[in-house]
A and B are shown apart, each in its own frame.
Chain A
């Protein structure tokens, strides 16, 4: 046990983590941070999606979480993960390991990210420092010719001719988001948004713009 974990021990929930899981979290922390200035073709992004009992963050709980890697602009079928939430701590550590330090693509962060962060806090005792990119905002800023405002996943799938094998399942929707993200990468590169940072900024500024319009 190193000094860092000692410092966090005590009445903190992480202290209740089994030794093995705690070590895996430490290993995750030690991973090198990717540069936000890398181009899409040098980056592994990770699509993350959750499946919950409902959409009410206060009372619904997570059922499953899925991840799909998009590396060098390609979805590899091998690079995928889907886990149930029967042992939440174990599931979350596995998910962290799967994500690594890749920038995460998520659809509707408002729900998905918030639910995941709450789970990390509750079961692992901390909120991991992850670069989140919300496709909900990224897509309308790139495909404004199709939808010039944020719309539901089903609408994007229809507009872009994207299908998946099973809707409303963590992995099924993740696959649809992954395909949409492939198209988004192509469009972003065409428009000169070639780095991770450029699309992070694109999604954030779009979100701010929308806020300022509505407020």
Chain B
């Protein structure tokens, strides 16, 4: 760098320091930036960057002028359609970080000067400046939120249609009707409205037959502005002949009626035309969702498999509604697994009534995704039993347990958890074992990690107690962590195995797809995170079986920066969310298409985030590779 170059660089950084995030950056990072900046000019109306230009070669910072960003194509990927950028603002952050074409067209609104930073220097700046890194990742995270909101809109339409619309109006009414007679002084009626906090007052005759309605929005034009005398009867300002529907009409009818007549309230009457209550627009769209608590109560009170089957349907419906309410993948999978756990426990309790297991200590454990709290909506059952015969005869105890397990497996199947094709079920004599037997089996896999043993480890090491004696399982967990931690050859083989599948990121195209043009989000997505997390957990003695907890706890123990961990976990959640979504939208039930996604059919934003999620998987794998020198 010559002195002259330093002077020019200094002039540009003096300018940038007036804007965030440059004002927070360290002098070295700013100097790096200033030295590498280029200055360009765009005449008013000329295109600066567009999707057709492909991967952007520069990061732009506006120095003078105005730039309009507008979404390309007809798919809205962000909440704004067009946006005007002014001096100090930057673009395209998402596209350049992800190394993909911009989704926006950027056009100079007036004669504009832009600083430009070559893409490679942009990546280096992200690396050397934590402030700049945070700025860019927060920007991308805000995109993630937008994507979630968009998902939410899609689902709330579905949820509303499916659920509310066939409910009879009678079932929507929460309160006894509040009404006054036509001769009631207006003041008294308004006082009642204020006391009861209601948005409208119904006027009914002595037979409770509605004759009119007065809503809050009527008050301004009919009462306040004309200075209507409050001591006069309400009938003089009410809307007469209010819209009325029968209690047996459906929510759909009500929605239609409201839309047709542009009203927000409908009066519901019984077969004798007597007022039963009021239904508002809000009731239709928000109050009629199955709640977590109701399902839980119905599961716990269920006396037979039939009622549990209904509960299992409700769980599915709830999941749909929760997505509609914008709940993230983490909470969602938690809810699903909490309810599935409750369902399984109830089945076990019902079966225990019919089986005599007195004198045997046992715990019913879940393996695989259920064991990790990561069930999606199409998971078959993976379970087993750890038992202690105590004083009873061991073989006889096992026979009794197997008979019991067989009935539980069948009942689970009836409640929407298909029987495991690989026979990983408690009714399989190989999976109904004492703690010592499990230890021997786990020990054999650890000592001789052939491919089958590694596959087994990836299923069975993620065990979790669903019912019964927790102590036996805790002992087994401690024994396992100890055994695995002490065997570095085993961990190394596990690591080698975990690296067999690479994230489906392409060098030329964005994604490497399978023959059918799809990506398997389980096999080449979620599993990459799950496998690495398991190894991290085993070697640092983390007791949790959940992938997120494993990553977080083991990551912290080994000193990984929190923001790096967050980014990885966010990536995992996004893949899980996409899995749940594809299971919902494409099939109501188990289908071969589950877990698969067509990247070309994702919207621009989801594609971008999915790519970032796969990058996070790659980062995680790279860490493992370095740790084990693979």
Contacts from A to B (Cβ < 8 Å):
66, 68, 73-82, 160-161, 164-165, 171, 175, 178-179, 182-183, 185-187, 190
Name the residue of chain A whose CB is nearest to the CB of B1.
A78
CA distance A138 to B183 in the complex (A): 88
CA distance A66 to B5 in the complex (A): 11
For A74, list chain B residues within 8 Å (CB): 38-40, 116
27 contacts between A and B (CB under 8 A): A68-B8, A73-B40, A73-B41, A74-B40, A74-B116, A75-B8, A77-B5, A77-B8, A77-B9, A77-B34, A77-B37, A77-B38, A77-B39, A78-B36, A79-B5, A80-B7, A81-B2, A161-B111, A165-B7, A171-B8, A175-B8, A179-B39, A179-B41, A179-B113, A182-B40, A183-B41, A186-B46
Cβ of A80 and Cβ of B8 under 8 Å apart?
Answer: yes
Closest 6 pairs (CB-CB, A-B): A182-B41, A82-B4, A165-B11, A186-B43, A80-B4, A75-B39
Is B42 engaged at the interface, CB distance under 8 Å to the other chain? yes
Name the residue of chain A whose CB is nearest to the CB of B58.
A74
How many A-B contacts are there with CB distance less than 8 Å? Answer: 73
For B41, list chain A residues within 8 Å (CB): 73, 179, 182-183, 185-186
Contacts from B to A (Cβ < 8 Å):
1-5, 7-12, 14, 34-43, 46, 64, 111, 113, 116
CA distance A82 to B4 in the complex (A): 5
Cβ of B42 and Cβ of A186 under 8 Å apart?
Answer: yes
Cβ of B38 and Cβ of A75 under 8 Å apart?
Answer: yes
CA distance A73 to B40 in the complex (A): 7
| A77 interface neighbour in B12, B43, B46, B111, Cβ under 8 Å | B12
Within the complex, what minimum Cβ distance (angstroms) separates B367 from chain A? 60
For B111, list chain A residues within 8 Å (CB): 160-161, 183, 186
Cβ of B4 and Cβ of A182 under 8 Å apart?
Answer: no
Within the complex, what minimum Cβ distance (angstroms) separates A185 from chain B? 7
Cβ of A66 and Cβ of B39 under 8 Å apart?
Answer: no
CA distance A189 to B11 in the complex (A): 28
Main secondary structure, interface of A, reads mixed
For B2, list chain A residues within 8 Å (CB): 80-82
CA distance A182 to B42 in the complex (A): 9
For A185, list chain B residues within 8 Å (CB): 41
CA distance A78 to B12 in the complex (A): 12
Cβ of B64 and Cβ of A161 under 8 Å apart?
Answer: yes
For B12, list chain A residues within 8 Å (CB): 77
Cβ of A80 and Cβ of B5 under 8 Å apart?
Answer: yes
Within the complex, what minimum Cβ distance (angstroms) separates A209 from chain B? 24
Cβ of B113 and Cβ of A182 under 8 Å apart?
Answer: yes
Within the complex, what minimum Cβ distance (angstroms) separates B12 from chain A? 7
Within the complex, what minimum Cβ distance (angstroms) separates B14 from chain A? 7
Name the residue of chain A whose CB is nearest to the CB of B38.
A74
For B8, list chain A residues within 8 Å (CB): 68, 75, 77, 80, 171, 175
| B4 interface neighbour in A66, A75, A160, Cβ under 8 Å | A66
Name the residue of chain B whose CB is nearest to the CB of A80.
B4
For B37, list chain A residues within 8 Å (CB): 77
For B4, list chain A residues within 8 Å (CB): 66, 68, 80-82, 171
CA distance A80 to B1 in the complex (A): 9
Most-contacted residue by chain B among A77, A80, A171, A187 (CB, 10 A)? A77
CA distance A66 to B7 in the complex (A): 12
CA distance A66 to B10 in the complex (A): 17
For B36, list chain A residues within 8 Å (CB): 77-78
Name the residue of chain B whose CB is nearest to the CB of A170.
B4
Known A-B contacts A74-B116, A80-B2; A190 and B43 likewise in contact (beta carbons under 8 Å): yes
Cβ of A187 and Cβ of B5 under 8 Å apart?
Answer: no
| B39 interface neighbour in A161, A171, A182, A190, Cβ under 8 Å | A182
Cβ of B11 and Cβ of A175 under 8 Å apart?
Answer: yes
Name the residue of chain B whose CB is nearest to the CB of A175.
B8
Within the complex, what minimum Cβ distance (angstroms) separates A99 from chain B? 14
Within the complex, what minimum Cβ distance (angstroms) separates A145 from chain B? 12
For B14, list chain A residues within 8 Å (CB): 165
CA distance A93 to B39 in the complex (A): 27
Known A-B contacts A185-B41, A187-B43; A82 and B35 likewise in contact (beta carbons under 8 Å): no
Within the complex, what minimum Cβ distance (angstroms) separates A90 from chain B? 15
